[in-house]
Amino acid sequence: MTIAEASRKYGLTADTLRYYERIGLLPPVPRTKGGIRDYDEASCGWIELMKCMRSAGVQIEALIEYVALYRQGEDTAGQRRAILVEQRDQMVARMEEMQRSLDRLNRKIEAYDNGSWRGEPARGACGQ
| 75-106: pLDDT as tens digits | 999 999 999 999 999 999 999 999 999 999 99
Tell which residue, 15, 123, 27, has the closest CA to residue 73. 27
In a domain, 106, yes or no: yes
Give how far Cα 7 sits from Cα of 13, 23, 35, Å. Answer: 5, 18, 18
In a domain, 58, yes or no: yes
CA 94, CA 30: separation in Å to the nearest integer?
36
In a domain, 70, yes or no: yes
| Digit-coded pLDDT (tens) for 49-70 | 999 999 988 989 999 999 999 9
The CATH number that applies at residue 19 is 1.10.1660.10
Averaged pLDDT of the chain: 91
In a domain, 118, yes or no: no
- The parent domain of residue 43 ranges over 3-113
Q: How many CB atoms lie within 10 A of CB 122?
A: 5
How many structural domains does the chain have? 1
In a domain, 23, yes or no: yes
CA 39, CA 47: separation in Å to the nearest integer?
10
Report pTM.
0.75
CA 36, CA 108: separation in Å to the nearest integer?
55
Give backbone dihedrals phi and psi of 123, rounded to 5 degrees, phi first. -115, 175
In a domain, 120, yes or no: no
